[in-house]
Structure 1
Amino acid sequence: MGLGNDVSNLPKGIHRRWDLPEPALGALWDSILMDECHKTQLLSQAVMNFTVRPKVSRDVIPLHGVILLVGPPGTGKTSLARGLAHRVSQLFHNSRMQLLEVEPHSLTSSAMGKTQRAVSDLFSQSIAESAANGPTIVLLDEVETLAVDRSKLSLDANPIDIHRATDAVLVQLDLLAEQYPNLLFVATSNFPEAVDSAFTSRCDLIMEIPLPDQAACEQILRACLGGLAKTYPDVAGLIKSPRFGDCANACVGLDGRAIRKMVANALAVDPQTAINPNTLSIDNLLSAARYAKEQRIQRI
């Protein structure tokens, strides 16, 4: 077991630390259903960070060791990033690799200069120390919190400090790229338009994680119902129903998280079904899927 469940005595800004490989993270990689070609590209880019960067001058290939995953909420970017760390570590059998998860909101402060200092300390001390001890992957979730687009800052919420915090991120990325070729950042963003262009210019790969297509929706729904059927066996019959495809089609436009929550909502359609999920029906699923899509459209 890695250190993922041990969050005590971690430096400010580090939410969690994992020793790799970690099978629990590998399960996350497998759970994200997307084009396998894109998964292979993502894995290959991450592996190249640890093979090519230490050997080739940045004058030849200016790698920064940064991958950015963008896409709507619920598409699995964070899970994919965690699973990627596990998969990369599996390919380097003799290396002790770690995954650090950054909590960006813990670094922000309304006090002038404190956010900038917290960001600088995190990168130059905590992350650098880990990289000095061995190959390290850092997950920067919601990176727009730390690298906000400076061109869009208003006069609200202490923009000078936010501006300086973004400057600090960029400076530290450059310094760490020079000093630690065994360091890889995997950043995520639900709002890539809010990320500073100077940050995106430093990314070696920007990959969009889209909403699942019909085939992926079917796989997610099948996996969810199959898991539910381990406890409530009658649910398995829904997967074999001739109308199962209609349910999958009704899920198109939802993200993977929303599809699984939709199944939970279908179980709560009435007290009888909630008491005995074995009575779940295709009609329950269709109604829940349509409602979930209506709510999504309203939010948009």
Structure 2
Amino acid sequence: MNQRETFAMAELPKGIQKITTLPNKGLADLWDSIIIEKEMKQGLLSQALLSLTLRSRVPRSVIPLHGIVLLTGLPGTGKTSLARGLAHRLSQALEGANLRLLEIEPHSLASAAHGKTQQAVTDLFRQTISEAASSGPVIVLLDEVETLAADRAKMSLEANPVDVHRATDAVLVQLDLLAEQHPNLLFVATSNFPQAVDEAFLSRCDMVLEVPLPDRDACRLILLDCIRGLARVFPAIGRLEQARGMHECAAACVGLDGRAIRKMVANALALTPETALNPEGLTMTALLTAAKAAHTSRVKGSRG
């Protein structure tokens, strides 16, 4: 961590969880770890690059870009990791741009006091984010965007505090102002529940990308990535790359998200005390057993 990043983290404003100077090797690993179609990643990167390069040259009256990308999908599909990795990839593509990644903690802005949530949101966008963008290009990660941009059409003032409505109003107003003032600013938002996001926010998104559950081929690639990663520490595990049963194991993982598949590999190591103490004893049979168990558990959980 460099001096600039340490100083930034020591004085984080309210609503900012983390500030990262780019490029960042750890974020590069995150980008590579999310196994989705190559065209999907390329489309996401291209849209983000377009936003950061076109908006400063073409009036919004011609191309009304807001500089907002929304990633949706089930929990565990890698939306947040993909967003963080995207920030790194942008810094590589825009070499010398001195990009920074600001990660927002939306829950820290909520308040039971009347008017406080709206004011906190306004201060975050109008002051903190605007000031950051004034000193160079910034990527803002807004996780769980439905927390700050809840669908007002599905709420009633009787059941929901008026501040929830006003916070959404404040977000929309500030996004419009920031889009006008800072073409070097890109928001990457995520949501597990896009149906809970306000329609006006969705209309401002330049791209909405659903990150899918992995298909069988993607499940196989995730499994191979886990095996190769483990083999760097426990070399004997590398033999499983060519082991029979890999396709069957991948098929058993269909329906799981990427995070669950990687946890399943850990569960396979924990099936016996022997492999827990010596992971090099991992077998394809253990992986298949754990995959089936994880799949069955996920199905039961969804019914519960």
CA spacing shift, 1:239–1:174, aligned 2, 3 Å: same
Give 3-state SS (helix, strand or coil) of 1:7's partner. Answer: helix
Map of 1:155-166 to 2, 5 A cutoff? 158-166=160-168
Higher mean alpha-carbon deviation, 276-285 vs 173-182, is at: 276-285
Q: How far apart are the structure 1 equivalents of 2:158 and 2:277?
A: 50
Q: State whether residues 135 and 183 of structure 1, in contact with CA within 8 Å, keep that contact through their aligned partners in structure 2.
A: yes
> Which amino acid in 2 is paired with 1:77?
K
Q: What is the CA-CA distance between 1:128 and the residue it aligns to?
A: 0.1
Q: Give deviations 1:89-140, integer Å, cap 9, x for gaps.
A: 1122232211100011111112221111110000000000001111111000
> Which amino acid in 1 is paired with 2:188?
V
Using structure 2 for the length normalisation, give the TM-score: 0.95
For 1:20, the equivalent position in structure 2 comes to 22
> Which amino acid in 1 is paired with 2:60?
R
> Which amino acid in 2 is paired with 1:142?
E
> Which amino acid in 2 is paired with 1:7?
M
Q: What is the CA-CA distance between 1:215 and the residue it aligns to?
A: 1.0
Q: Are 2:43 and 1:41 equivalent residues in the alignment?
A: yes
For 2:237, the equivalent position in structure 1 comes to 235
For 2:107, the equivalent position in structure 1 comes to 105
Matched length? 300
Residue of structure 2 aligned with 1:196, choices 198, 204, 211 = 198
Q: What is the CA-CA distance between 1:223 and the residue it aligns to?
A: 0.9
Map of 1:134-283 to 2, 5 A cutoff? 134-154=136-156, 158-283=160-285
| Structure 2 segments unaligned to the other structure (5+ residues) | none
Q: What is the CA-CA distance between 1:273 and the residue it aligns to?
A: 2.0
CA spacing shift, 1:4–1:147, aligned 2, 3 Å: farther
For 2:120, the equivalent position in structure 1 comes to 118
Q: Give deviations 1:27-47, integer Å, cap 9, x for gaps.
A: 211111111111111111111
For 1:7, the equivalent position in structure 2 comes to 9
Q: What is the CA-CA distance between 1:230 and the residue it aligns to?
A: 2.1
Map of 1:86-105 to 2, 5 A cutoff? 86-105=88-107
For 1:82, the equivalent position in structure 2 comes to 84
Q: What is the CA-CA distance between 1:270 and the residue it aligns to?
A: 2.0
CA spacing shift, 1:11–1:214, aligned 2, 3 Å: same
| Structure 1 segments unaligned to the other structure (5+ residues) | none
Give 3-state SS (helix, strand or coil) of 1:211's partner. Answer: coil
Q: How far apart are the structure 2 equivalents of 1:156 and 1:257?
A: 38
Q: How far apart are the structure 2 equivalents of 1:286 and 1:57?
A: 55
> Which amino acid in 1 is paired with 2:183?
P
Give 3-state SS (helix, strand or coil) of 1:231's partner. Answer: coil
Q: Are 2:58 and 1:51 equivalent residues in the alignment?
A: no
> Which amino acid in 1 is paired with 2:285?
D
Using structure 1 for the length normalisation, give the TM-score: 0.96
Q: How far apart are the structure 2 equivalents of 1:9 and 1:156?
A: 38
Q: What is the CA-CA distance between 1:158 and the residue it aligns to?
A: 4.2
Q: Give deviations 1:44-66, integer Å, cap 9, x for gaps.
A: 11111121101111111111110
Q: How far apart are the structure 2 equivalents of 1:67 and 1:125?
A: 22
For 2:295, the equivalent position in structure 1 comes to 293
Identity %: 60
Q: What is the CA-CA distance between 1:159 and the residue it aligns to?
A: 2.6
Q: How far apart are the structure 1 equivalents of 2:253 and 2:9?
A: 36
Q: Give deviations 1:222-257, integer Å, cap 9, x for gaps.
A: 110111122222222222211111111111111111
Higher mean alpha-carbon deviation, 27-36 vs 201-210, is at: 27-36
